[in-house]
Chain A
Amino acid sequence: MTITQPAVVLPREYEKISMPPLKMQIDGLDFYYGRKQVLRNVSLPIHERRITALIGPSGCGKSTFLRTLNRMNDVIGDTHVTGSILLDGEDIYGPDIDVVALRRRVGMVFQRPTPFPMSIFDNVAYGPRINGLARGSELAALVEHSLQRAALWDEVKDLLYQPGTSLSGGQQQRLCIARVLAVQPEVVLMDEPCSALDPISTASIEELMMALKENYTIVIVTHNMQQAARVSDETGFFLLGELIEFDQSTKIFTDPRDKRTEDYITGRFG
């Protein structure tokens, strides 16, 4: 594999556009599974209350990158990270970081819905309960609020004590989103949240993301370029572990700077 120059492109014009404050700042990130390097010198900003989309062909490292943002890769043994990831200015790989507290602030929605084998209510109440956020009627209110936020309340308000697994795929995914929201995170990471869903469920999740943007910072990995173009404010294109291009989505999808980005979004490969 030939290694080209680190290709982080942050154009000058881009910096000039007035942007919301930075929520996360990734700088010179390298990531290794054992000896295999999966991410090379990735740097990008994540702005508050924006949707940042990460696109790229399978195996390009975009999911791995997403999982470094809440240190989910720590679960896998024999990995290591260099470079820095700042959350509100604090390095999340720093020595004083409480990983459990970090994951409360940076929640995650996975590719396949992962309802726990418990009731719908208990699924949503799980996070608040283990974190001691609420109990009793306060907890019930938080569960209702979270389900409303996830646009699921009307469908499940009479089924709260049915198992979470009894819902349809799209409903399960919204349940998982409600479950994340109940912990009141600041950033929500979404790892291909619609890839297991039908178009109608996908549309409802996308609508939901647009609404959530008001209060949350969202980072989404997607294989679906139309989806990235539809929902995101910024887009990063990954290829072979490198961030090839990062820019406003409108720019990336209409006038990409890099030839490889253009080839990918026009469907010439990937």
Chain B
Amino acid sequence: MTSRTSPSRWWHYKRRFANILMWVVAILATLIAVTPLVLVMYHVTVQALPALNWGFFTQMPKPIGEAGGGMLNAIVGTLILIGLAGLFGLPFGILGGIYLAEFGNNRPANVIRFTADVLASVPSIVVGILVYSLIVAHTKTFSALAGGFALGMMMIPTVTRTTEEIVRMVPVSQREAALSLGASQVTTIFTVVMSAARGGVITGALLAIARVAGETAPLMFTAGTSSFFSVNIKQPIASLPMEIFLRATAPYDVGHAQAWAGAFVLVVLVLILSIAARYATRGRLRIVR
């Protein structure tokens, strides 16, 4: 045994060294990954502070270049748009995901899965142009409806795939238990499987909404923008991303400050949705394995 002591001690130091080295590298990599996020949050917050006041949330915008005013119409507009997007996107996305998970071992399902993956990577501006030609070209006007439809289309593939993943995680034993009690397959899916998968599906839906909430490109050709307060979904509607875009590209300092404030509100909105998504999974009963 003694003859082995020295090589093993050498090994010991080498392993300790490798361990510390990898530890340091991992921490550095994490810091580098997190730095942009912190910088963005910091920058947005600092720049937004001058324009952030009660009026920003309660007043209508003043003409570009004038001081004062708020983004009430854009905040309401964004909420309406993501509401419509959810209305269009979630039913198709969730039911599609259930279909893929429960009946998805055949050719048509593979085609759908592939299509969803392709749709997920279609540039958002292309979705905007598509909805323009489908809806706006016929109604002859930008509308909240068209904007919500474009955002909804962007949600479908991600919601479909996350729902599929979650529903697949529900163990076969749960389904069999329900079937053995005289439940049909459809009853099983909508009672036992969905009650086990609910938390995960809600998380996927909220994350998809958070993702499209900040989209600008698809709105340019669909929802357009508006300087008025509007809740009419057949009319153009203002939204935070569009408002930020317009003010940030206009040559006025007041407008820039308000664009930052708008960005801040948008970031906070997305953050709230993400936290809600985490909360949804935390509160629910976990999937029994």
Chain A interface residues toward B at CB < 8 A: 70, 72, 75, 77, 100-101, 103-104, 107-108, 110, 112, 114-118, 126-127, 130-131, 163, 165, 176, 179-180, 183
Contact = CB atoms under 8 A, between A and B. Distances in A.
A116 B180 contact: no
Chain B contact residues (Cβ within 8 angstroms of A): what range? 20 to 34
B174 A116 contact: yes
A127 B180 CA distance: 9
> Ordered nearest first, which 4 A-B pairs have the shortest CB separation?
A104-B182, A108-B180, A127-B181, A117-B285
Given A108-B177, A114-B171, A118-B285, 13 more contacts: A70-B180, A72-B180, A77-B105, A100-B183, A107-B180, A110-B177, A114-B176, A116-B177, A117-B285, A126-B178, A126-B183, A131-B182, A176-B177
Contacts of A103: 179-182
Contact of B181 (A77, A165, A183): A183
Contacts, number: 76
Contacts of A118: 195, 285
B75 interface: no
Main secondary structure of the interface of B (DSSP, over half): helix
Contacts of A180: 180-181
Interface stretch (B81-89, B146-154, B184-192): B184-192
B182 A165 contact: no
A107 B179 CA distance: 9
B181 A104 contact: yes
9 contacts: A75-B176, A103-B182, A107-B181, A108-B177, A116-B174, A116-B177, A116-B195, A130-B181, A131-B181
B195 A112 contact: no
B175 interface: yes
A103 B175 CA distance: 13
A163 B181 contact: no
Nearest to A108: B180
A197 B171 CA distance: 20
Given A110-B173, A126-B191, A165-B288, A116 B178 contact: yes
B287 A117 contact: yes
Contacts of A183: 181-182
A130 B182 contact: yes
A209 B223 CA distance: 66
B181 A114 contact: no
Contact of B288 (A104, A117, A126): A117
Contacts of B105: 77
B196 interface: yes
Given A130-B187, A130-B191, A165-B285, A114 B182 contact: no
